[in-house]
Structure 1
Amino acid sequence: MSDDEPAGIDGQRVSRWLGDHVEGFVEPAAFELISGGRSNLTYRVTDGAGTARALRRPPTGGVLSTAHDMGREWSFISALAGTAVPVAPPLAYCTDTEVTGAEFSVMGLVEGEVLADAEAGNRFPEEARARAGEHLVDVLAELHALDPVALGLGDLVRRTGYVERQLRRWHAQVHATGAPELALLDEVHDRLAERIPKQRNGIVHGDYRPGNLSFGPDGTVRAVFDWELATSGDPLADLGWLAASWQDPGEETPPVTPGPSTAPGFPSRAEIVARYADRSGLDLADLPYWIAFARWRSACIGVGVRARYEAGHMADDGFSLEERADDGVRLCEAALRDLAN
């Protein structure tokens, strides 16, 4: 790798592979990291003719391979291309880890605004914010109306319940860290395990939120990104995560992940949920359970991220260990209140 290439990319080898496998690709390529940190890495790849595409690969170290499944992401994007759910056009997939140290996918580059936090929400045109909130719900309802087996995703359909799998996974992972808040995490886990509702079986994105979507200036969703956690399960898992991330102005409970919703003009959480109920036709009586589950899961994710920082696997990017720990405790306390109702 030369000094002007981003981490995770062997420019010469990747450029040669792209020339052999992507129709119309003109060597040489230039690479720019446009999204990284704690998720899969995304690069803008500009070929010799000036055409830009997107390349995705896992982080370069200190992560669980099961959380960065490139093959899974590729399968879902390929299956969803051409449906009512907008995704980046799939172009090619590389299974040869000798090319650049990991498997990677190449897609058409979808330009747009990613509403990852309050700052992005405030930058976004105020007249388009209501449309953005409405259309992200409409796209989610379209996703949940799809049959994974009919899309050719039958091999990825799990026979066990989504929440049972998630409870086992995250419970084991947080215990491996020895986090100081384990007693509280266990209390929420046990309440969730005792009250598992009857589950439907559809497609679950796993991290559906404005920060994983690209929006046009009119508020229309142009593409849904980050399918690495996608699986089969109850659609309300996605709605619970979205609702728990959708913070209303002045609300004290932290969101499960940052978002734009406190900026003026975005719909309220209640309006988001009501629109989903209307578009999907699903019974949302169990939604408080799924919001509680989302909050517990976010707290578990925070423990894992904190452990990687403490182990020195993450760069010093301003991440506050104390703030994340405090947010995890507050999320667990909110989850207990959700489950008490």
Structure 2
Amino acid sequence: MIGALAGLARPVLFALEPEVAHEVTLRALELGVYPRCPGTEAPALRCSLWGLDLPNPIGIAAGFDKDARVADAVLGLGCGFAEVGTTTPRPQSGNPAPRVFRLIPERAVINRLGFNNAGHAAALKRLTARARRGVVGVNIGANKDSTDRAADYVAGIEAFYGVASYFTVNISSPNTPGLRDLQAPDALDELLGRIMAARAAKVASGAPSRPIVVKLAPDLAEDAVEPVVAALLRHGADGIALSNTTLARPGLTDPAAREAGGLSGRPLFHRSTVVLARVYEATAGKVPLIGIGGIDSGETALAKIEAGATLLQLYTGLIYEGPGLIGRITSYLAKACAERGVRTLSELTGTRSAEWAAKQI
């Protein structure tokens, strides 16, 4: 019954303003009104990473559950892991509305939300109250008006260290002025130095070492990949997420394409996958990558894996395809493993990275 209702929900949600539809979705998840997806725990899809065991490599990207309201529901949908945030030390309202725009013919979304969230305290309260099951990461960011953005990231590490399975350091949103400047090698060196020192202090006090993933932009220039990756390797980043939304507008025809903000969805797939493959090549496959951007089918999910991803995250694809997309992707990936004669999906990671890395953006 719930699965049938989910199929009917899309036209209702699309009749609402995007942010209203998002809030309705979150409330439904909080109430437990969502389909449970069977077949998302195929043995070939299980993976162990950073000391964490995941039933499958699918998650929902940051921005969906900014305030840690529905982490358990995301796992209940059939995801192998959840990620909450982006959360900032202090609450902030983000940019003025309207700030989210559907590009329906393009199967895309443009947003300029600007890290709207209720702050660390609200998210921490919810994460502390939940039963500790499943893998739940915390995506951390900086307040727009912060005078020391690195300190905001350190505050995120310190606030959530006891409840996060891993951290994602978001320095790639285009909607906070100057945030992407933290991707410059010198700024990245300082930021990662302070973040890793904060983690080291926790470990020295007897806490376990939490994995730290850095999320990059898809607009990273080709000649910037090597120095950025060198900084990440130098500081011992445990993973790299690729990618956030793009400022590019690749051949879009929808009038909403003129709106400012980051573009996600199908038009982002090519650019984000090329950058993913270039980073995979630059790291020689030694650092696990999370592939994000334009995944809306089993075929696009597999392409991300072949380009170099170990884990995957969806968001805009779910808006257009519904929650059943999770089960369809896991079924497709399990079938691909069987057809190619591999025991685990990880054996397909990076098998076409050189081909993807050579493509033009």
Fold equivalence (TM over 0.5): no
Give the structure-2-normalised TM-score.
0.28
Give the structure-1-normalised TM-score.
0.29
